Chains A and B, each alone.
Chain A
Amino acid sequence: MGENILKKYDPTATLHEIEDKFQMFQILNEEGQIVNEEANPNLSDDELVELMTRMVYTRILDQRSISLNRQGRLGFYAPTAGQEASQLASHFALEKEDWILPGYRDVPQIVWHGLPLAKAFLFSRGHFMGNQVPEGVNILAPQIIIGAQYIQTAGVALGLQKRGKKSVAITYTGDGGSSQGDFYEGINFAGAFKSPAIFIVQNNQYAISTPRELQTAAKTIAQKGIAAGIPSVLVDGMDPLAVYVATRDARERAVNGEGPTLIETMCYRYGPHTMAGDDPTRYRTADTDNEWAAKDPIVRFRKYLEAKGLWTEAKEEEVIERAKEEIKEAIKEADQAPKQKVTELIENMHAGEMPYNLQEQYAIYKEKESK
């Protein structure tokens, strides 16, 4: 009998040693105080106000979307409240030329990147015009197949690299999504090609009802970057400044040709998984909800800005009113979208000539539609 190699090399100790290195990066604590002055991005006053404005606006967008969904005026909707720092501060670090490959919960990022709100609502309802992205807005429609956006991001990033562009492709998934094969293949491909990609895992603690602990024995999701040989960081996803800095630095690495980064944002969704009947009280306790409510990204950012004299209740009211007004207008605009026709769906299938089967079916539906 030889010696037990697990004892000799003690891989468990190595694992714990590595895991312990993934400490959560934070700049702003729950009280809105800077706890990491060295890392403070020192955004200008205007930038700070703009980021807060977007976060407040998006919280209202979430509240209104849930309400519009309940009234039957929206369809598929995945709530975002609680993830404003994770979604919007990461987006705030991007440039217009950057590509976004969102998951189904990541509508806010593509809206702030240039997708008109009325189109976002049409996406929710299930209308192809919602996915007709305006020219020059580098986004894809929200991806429903969890993980697919990751491998596609590796491709877009390689494309940007081959074109010699100084921009990045960014993508988002959730904690559950990190269990998918495409998650791993995506980060591994981008690593192997050293492509300018930013992979964000928004760890909101639950994949529908399945807690994060059931996804993996790994202590952090960030450490999964090690498997791809790429740097990764664990960030307080309820802290806008920390998320901004992590994304900004990952972007800088990427455009300098140093390859991709994986960012885990530790956050929480206050609402259900989607509005299609999920009931979080079945799998979450009020205690957990309250614990995370205390970490609210808007609350802590508000405190920080108020202390700097950059934010007031009146200012917040103004943003809320503007959001409500624009949402009302956008819903009206979405209402005005013409009903979809089968002939239009057929027209969107192929760039080239229609195959015979679609030509025949086009003629049949054209006839039906003319009646």
Chain B
Amino acid sequence: MAQMTMIQAITDALRCELRDDENVLVFGEDVGVNGGVFRATEGLQKEFGVDRVFDTPLAESGIGGLAIGLALEGFRPVPEIQFFGFVYEVMDSISGQLARLRYRSGGTYNAPVTIRSPFGGGVHTPEMHSDSLEGLMAQQPGLKVVIPSTPYDAKGLLISSIRDNDPVIFLEHLKLYRSFREEVPEEAYTIPLGKADVKREGKDLSIFAYGLMVHESLKAAEELEKEGYSVEVVDLRTIQPLDIETIIASVEKTNRAIVVQEAQKQAGIAANVVAEITDRAILSLEAPVLRVAAPDTIYPFPQAEGVWLPTYKDVMETAKKVLTF
């Protein structure tokens, strides 16, 4: 075991997979000699060579095409999109092509591609760096979408994503890259995709969250405990497909729920979680399932992040509405 930040855990996962499977290829803008703009691929080119870890021209669409073509030749590509706001350049390769490769070939070809990309607010990035666009990905049949919130989860989920024979979008929250360390095993281990994790047990209210909002929810839960409420925090970890079993079991226990996301209310995947709960557990509900989300504006100018991004205070406010409904 070693104390690792999330970014170190990600590098470690890439190293494990590059070592264990010679078909794994890591590529993108500045991921080679530079080790990535956030050092996620630090030292990997030196260790595994330029054939396995390499830089590309600055063109996201081309990177997507490269990944698809390499997959057709039996490789297991792990491309990087430098910031997920740039996904619009490669939407066709991801949603129009990669997600459909197996289906459109009637199962003849597989698409074992993992696209890594950072996103998320709170670090005053310039325009189109921090947007939460996971909702777009979650709407595309054929894709799995994974968003870890801890170093331990990041490593296990990334290894699982790379080993998955279908395309996975692996989104890494910028603010979580180095915000804390935790114990992470040095050997390779996996965490199943599509499985949520109860980060805190409680019996009065379920909070479903992912990404940075897991930590805001945990903080809110702590505060609410001081006021006498027992709050359960469920980290979705995979937002497509959802872990229905864990979500419904939690709601059936607590009878009250909120869903917390950093994305705008009209975006993200909170509406989907609410719909699944009302479909499957409406008779267990003592109150409507409310959402914590950002305002339906374009992502804020950096100086406005403080008033725009949802925080534990918003989580507490919404939690109380539901607890006192």
Residues of chain A at the chain B interface (Cβ within 8 Å): 99, 128-129, 131-133, 140-141, 145, 148, 150-160, 162-163, 169, 181-182, 185-186, 188-189, 192, 345, 347-352, 355-357
Contacts and interface: CB of A to CB of B under 8 A. Distances in A.
B106 A349 contact: no
Interface string B78-93: 0000000000000011
Contact of B93 (A151, A158, A160): A151
5 contacts: A151-B65, A151-B66, A153-B69, A155-B67, A181-B61
Given A159-B74, A169-B69, A129 B106 contact: yes
Interface stretch (B40-48, B97-105, B201-209, B218-226): B97-105
Contacts, number: 138
Interface stretch (B51-59, B119-127, B259-267): B51-59
Contacts of B110: 351
Contacts of A151: 61-62, 64-66, 68-69, 93
A355 B104 CA distance: 18
A132 B72 CA distance: 14
Contacts of A186: 62, 65
B57 A188 contact: yes
A189 B62 contact: yes
Contact of B166 (A160, A347, A351, A356): A351
Contacts of B107: 132, 347-348, 351
B59 A185 contact: yes
Q: Is the interface of A mostly helix, strand, loop or mixed?
A: helix
Contacts of B240: 355
Interface of B: 25, 51, 56-57, 59, 61-62, 64-75, 92-93, 96-97, 102-110, 112, 141-142, 144, 164-166, 194, 240-245
B75 A159 contact: yes
A345 B141 CA distance: 12
Q: Which 3 pairs show the lowest CB-CB distances between chains A and B?
A: A155-B69, A151-B65, A159-B73
Contacts of A140: 72, 105, 109
B69 A145 contact: no
A181 B61 CA distance: 8
Given A163-B73, A185-B62, A355-B144, 8 more contacts: A99-B72, A128-B104, A151-B65, A155-B65, A155-B72, A189-B59, A356-B242, A357-B241
A355 B241 CA distance: 6
Given A349-B102, A357-B241, A145 B92 contact: yes
B194 A156 contact: no
B68 A155 contact: yes
Contacts of B103: 128, 345, 348-349
Nearest to A347: B107
Contacts of B141: 349
B138 to A, nearest CB: 11
Nearest to B89: A181
A348 B100 CA distance: 10
